[in-house]
Amino acid sequence: MKSKLFLSSLLVAIAFMFTFTACDPDEDPIDEPVLVEDGIYVYGAGTANTEYTADALMKSTRNEANQTERAQLLESFVAVKAGADGFHIVIVEGGKPKLYGPGDNFATVDAADKTGEEPTSWFARGGIKESATPFTVTEDGLYHIVYDTEVGIAVVAKVEWGLIGAATPGGWSTSTQLTPSAFDNQNITFTGSMDLRAGEYKLRYSHGWKIVIDNDYVLGDGATGLRVNTNLGGTVDALVPGGGNIMNTAPGKYDFSFAWTKANGYTFTLTKTGDLAFTNWTNVKLDVFGTGVDATNTNAVADPSTWAWGMAVPADALPTVEGDVNNGAKFTYKWTGVKLNPAANEGFAFRSVAGDVYNGSVFRYAVIDEDKSDMTVVESTTNGFGDVNFNVKEAGSFDVVLTIDAGSADKATVVIVKSGTATSELYMTGAGVGGWDWETNYEKLDWVSGNIFTKTTEFINGGAFRFFAQKYWDPTSYNYPWFTTVDANFENAADDDSNFKFIGTTGTYKVTVDLDAKTVTLVAAK
């Protein structure tokens, strides 16, 4: 019994000594192997990616040809220092990295070999091969690095961000460029200030929309093309490569910041710093353009813009102007009897035209006035870029009225009806026609044609009244001074609103109002 106790004590003592030794803090730690996640990395001394970390991994992006995510198409935005260090595309499989550099056909793409929608700044394209020779650049800056694992083609492109679109100073014709900060391989920020009007815009780099990887790549169902987006859309807070146009609803003077960091990628912010002067559309031409515009229209021409989108037909004339242009006037354009055709996934839109610049402000389906348009023949349609355009359900002649309210941040409304149908309404109310209310004492005038209306009703001597574009006080009304020629039976009521006052003999009359000619005539009813 005594010997067993001694043996047990000895074993406990040995275990205690072993435990104490294993926990000695002065012992050198055992080196653990570094685990590298499988994937494809941008890695090299010419960048901040000198370890195989998550922010060095390339990520899948959308194929511009059909704007769908493609697992094999990878991209990364990386700050690269000019010189011999450069970087490799590194493929890690089973934790083992293999370094790839430029292949034998990887080369700079000359301006003459670029499509009209590829970036104007430097980029190179071609195959890759396992090699100790890195990809290099001749200028410090932010670069877009792209690699498609299926076709084996890589792209390295210099990135210089800018804004383009109807809301920007250059319209859809040219980008307004942002200025990059000093080179830093951890972060680069592009900043600028500009006027931003109500309307659509996008971000794109180096004046390009896309870079071709392989235009002959077969997608199926007769579609071809493998291209990477060089533009961003969607929303300010959620940018998407090749996403839909960003909508600005708060025009003003803005400061812009497009910030790239190695750790978090890119973010876009804008800060309003002031208000804009009211837009004067008096001498601005508009046209309707797109696949849905019939080529047999008088004055129709093939769209001369870089979009080359169907046909274009100018408005009947420059706009009629209502109000003071210095205080936010309304501008109204018309197309009378314009021929339109159904064009699913294409449709048509409206835009401003300044001389030879055809990609100005663009007005799409969002501005449709569904209450006044003939919605039995008008619908929306979405194109391959995500733009929601107008479309008609049947071919025919249509009357179109487009009104821009400069006093409401250039808010536009479009009315589309079959030719021979009213595109607007006109009402009158007041003591001169029975009383000031919208329940019983108002008259809706009958539409004749264009903007001509008429009504036979009783006018009361000494009573004031006013014309309204809707069955309510706001937003649009027409008082006595608004017209240029008014029948002698009316005068300015000289009240707070400068209403009409009927000074003729109480009785039944036929009044005719021409909003285009700004005339009011009156004849006794027969």
Q: What is the pLDDT of residues 267-279, one digit of tens each?
A: 999 999 999 889 8
pTM: 0.68
The CA-to-CA distance between both ends of the chain, in Å, stands at: 139
Mean confidence (pLDDT) of the chain: 90
CB count within 10 Å of CB 159 equals: 24
pLDDT tens for each residue of 428-439: 999 999 999 999
Contact assessment for residue 478 and residue 470, using Cβ atoms and an 8 Å cutoff: no
Residue 34: pLDDT band by 50, 70, 90 thresholds?
low
413 or 172, higher pLDDT: 413
Query: What is the pLDDT averaged over residues 356-366?
Result: 80
Length of the chain: 526
What are the tokens at 152? 């084996």
H or E element at residue 191: strand 187-196
pLDDT in tens, 108-163: 999 999 998 999 999 999 999 999 999 999 999 999 999 999 999 999 999 999 99
Strand partners, 277: none
The pLDDT value recorded for residue 18 is: 39
The tokens for 316 are: 């009947």
- Residue with the bigger pLDDT between 476 and 226: it is 226
Write down the pLDDT at residue 274. 94
